[in-house]
Structure 1
Amino acid sequence: MGKLKSNPIETARKFVDSHFPSCQSAILAGSVVRGEETETSDLDVVIFDKNMSSSYRESVLFSKWPIEVFVHNLTSYKDFFQSDYERARPSMPRMVAEGIVLKDDGSLLSIKEEAKKLLEQGPKEWSQETINTKRYFITDLLDDFIGSSNRAEEIFIANELAALVSEFVLRTNRNWIGTSKWVFRSLSSYDEEFAVRFVAAFDDYYRTGEKVNIIKLVDEVLESHGGRLFSGFSLGKDDNDK
């Protein structure tokens, strides 16, 4: 971390005292809590203040630290917990569950327990219809990838294939998904060996243009759910239609 930056926990406490002196509780979350901070890391601070009429998010600079502050009253966070559950990306529950307590009037215990319970529960199980739909779109994308001879187009097809396949693996195994760096973290949390193979397959393609390892990986993922799906797939057709 940069030498000019102050201690993150002390800075976060001073920020809360300065900007939210009347809040009931506050949490420091994010990479600094997990020991994964970099030179460009910011501080994620979650505020609970009963006097706030609604939730909001704001980015500020404080003592040379970039701070992302997430402000809630004592009930508004529930909507975010539910939204994160529905999209299978538990950003807010994870921050609350893993975060370091900066201030607490006693109300945080139940909120933290609620977050931990949600994380342990995992996302909603996919229906067979959803699995088949995802299989079809992955199959269609894989066929485009195999058949393409345009390097520029292939790169973007590969990007989308990585996103769809990682989502498929995680959701069919009742695991949380993520975006950006959280894709790899989510895959590693599910199966570290698979995550390494997943990255190696795509890295090999990006470096050399060799597709075989991606194709093999995708077929392996689809195999336990019936393999590639094209013939017979239907979406939105009325049962009475001929």
Structure 2
Amino acid sequence: MDYYNKLNPFEAAKQFVNKQFPHCEDALLAGSVVRGEATETSDLDIVIFDQQHHSSYRESLIDFGWSIEVFVHNLTSYKEYFSDDYERARPSMPRMVAEGLVLKDKGAIGAIKKEAKELLDKGPKEWSPGIITTKRYFITDTLDDFIGCNNRAEEIFIANALAELVSEFVLRTNKRWIGASKWVIRSLRHYDVEFTNCFVEAFDDFYKNGDKQKIIQLVDGVLQLYGGRLFEGFSLGKS
């Protein structure tokens, strides 16, 4: 079914909840359809809070013409997911809850959404100087591999690793949430649009033309704020 001919996402989500979770306490519709970013392949992300379930689970299915990802929790099990997301600095569940449109509300959803928003506003745990030093070393090591490599196939995957390491470093040293896949760029844009444009341009230039110089300059600029490249004197695990 074409995206534009599908049942309205909010209505489809309400019907899904009434059909599959008629006795749940609370339910939310989240994801790209809520943010106005839906595409032809977008699905519905539906968060359910149901005290009948003793533990959380996730399930994928198709109903009402939509691919649906349903995230089922009771009124306490979601807290473990909030905690895990905080520790890994990727706030998937808190973001879904905070941005979600209410499909069903028996009284608990307001407090849960408030908890999610407070966690998002708080930001992830600050990196220690030791972690920053270790990350500087691994970025330097990967950058050296990138500079010295003359095998195109290997260069591509070294560049991929470097993009992930550098984006994580920039965001975490500025106490910002990180992301994976499309959320790498979204997280960077939330932090600094100008830097993100330079980041994309540098890697795009390499992938299109094989020119490494903009990536090298970008990485050196990021590391310079924390002492530059690091190799000599670095030690890990030495007693």
Q: With the length of structure 2 as denominator, give the TM-score of the two structures.
A: 0.99
After superposition, what is the alpha-carbon deviation per residue over 1:85-142, rounded to whole angstroms, capped at 9, x for unaligned? 0000000000000000000001001100000000000000000000000000000000
Q: CA RMSD in A?
A: 0.6
* Aligned 1:1-242 pairs, distance under 5 A: 2-238=3-239
User: What letter corresponds to residue 235 of structure 2 in structure 1?
Assistant: S
How far has the Cα of 1:51 moved from its partner?
A: 1.3
> Paired residues, what number?
238
Q: With the length of structure 1 as denominator, give the TM-score of the two structures.
A: 0.98
How far has the Cα of 1:5 moved from its partner?
A: 1.0
Distance 2:157 2:108 in 1: 47
Q: Secondary structure at the match of 1:234?
A: coil
Distance 1:3 1:34 in 2: 16
User: What letter corresponds to residue 5 of structure 2 in structure 1?
Assistant: L
Distance 2:38 2:115 in 1: 26
How far has the Cα of 1:175 moved from its partner?
A: 0.2
Distance 1:208 1:200 in 2: 12
Q: Secondary structure at the match of 2:170?
A: helix
How far has the Cα of 1:155 moved from its partner?
A: 0.3
Moved beyond 4 Å, runs of 4+: none
User: What letter corresponds to residue 40 of structure 1 in structure 2?
Assistant: T
User: What letter corresponds to residue 192 of structure 1 in structure 2?
Assistant: V
Distance 1:32 1:172 in 2: 31
Q: Determine if contact 1:84/1:92 at 8 Å carries over to the other structure.
A: yes
Q: Determine if contact 1:12/1:45 at 8 Å carries over to the other structure.
A: yes
**Structure 2 portions without partners, runs of 5+:** none
Q: Secondary structure at the match of 1:37?
A: coil
Identity %: 68
User: What letter corresponds to residue 89 of structure 2 in structure 1?
Assistant: A
**Structure 1 portions without partners, runs of 5+:** none
